Amino acid sequence: MRILLTKHSKSKLCTQLKKQNQASSLKELSIRINIPKSTLENWFYNTKRYIPEKIIPKNLIKKLEILDKQQANWGNKKGGKKTYCTILKKYGAEEIKKRQIAGGKAKNKKTTGKFKIDINSPLFLEFYGALLGDGWLSALSYTYKTKVNLWWIGLSGNAKLDKQYLMYHKKNVNTLFKRKVAVKYKKDSKGMEIIFSHKQLILFMNKRLGFPIGKKINLKIEKNIAENWEKMKYVIKGIFDTDGSLYFDKTPAKKAYPIISLHMKAPHLLKQINKQLLSKNFKVRFRENELILKGSKQLNKWMNEIGSNNSRHFLKYQQFIAKKKSL
């Protein structure tokens, strides 16, 4: 039960609780009864705030002026009722009924349906590659009254240079997994990320594809995918669009000389990529943490056979081609 007291009675209650708990201040009282100071301030100084009956001494409650009493979950019910009235006014009773039916079906589908994903889908393979490049899987849990588990998948990038690309994957996530995606901009940095929750997908990627949850150590591409070029080219595209770079050096004749670079602290993964690129007659320089391809022929071959969906790469390529044609 929650109780609304008069201003005078709130003051009286506060004084009595301090006296009972030998506290000289509200801060000291909060420590003694293990309730945040901000909560106590809200209870005692906000005239509209209801106070839990359980904190009021039984010998004092009859001496207080009580304006109103409500059930403990009154606030939640009030908020729900207010939201319902807002939706009712905006959409009408028929629309609410449709949403309730659709919501029930969706919930039933989620709880009873088996998780399915086509790992041969180019969209999924590209998303897999993007996660290998600049994505992450997270499984966290904390306890506040009850245990809460959080299952998150995220993909990061530059808020200016990669925004188009991240929005592209935001759309793909909805297509592939039927999930809503949150877009987060990092404070005091130029970063942004897209995040969504999907426990089954995380467990699938971890157990079936070997993708680590948490820190990305000893990254490698799943064996059956890594040995199949028709699958691997989409994974490479995703990695290139997140963790790769395309830049231009100057030749002695001051002409732009294109260079593609994949730099990752994942030697096994880069070795897998190198093997497939060599099998398709790409000319690759392979070091432990870096793959490099140089020259316009290699750039054209890359864009024709692998491609890019990140505007920071394909716009550079288009400008390079346009400039060559104008010469």
- Tell me the pLDDT band of 173, cut-offs 50, 70 and 90: very high
Rounded CA gap, 258 and 48, in Å? 68
- Tell me the pLDDT band of 97, cut-offs 50, 70 and 90: low
| Residue 156 DSSP SS3 | strand
Same domain, 178 and 318: yes
For residue 212, what is the DSSP state? Answer: P
Same domain, 160 and 269: yes
Rounded CA gap, 218 and 90, in Å? 53
Same domain, 88 and 27: no
Range of the domain at 224: 122-326
pLDDT in tens, 138-168: 987 655 556 667 899 999 999 999 999 999 9
Same domain, 247 and 194: yes
Q: What is the CATH number of the domain that holds 134?
A: 3.10.28.10
What the block records as the tokens of 137 is 């899987």
Same domain, 202 and 316: yes
Count the domains in the chain: 3
Same domain, 7 and 127: no
Given 72, 104, 133, which residue is the final one in a domain? 72
Strand partners, 182: 195
Q: Does residue 117 form part of some domain?
A: no
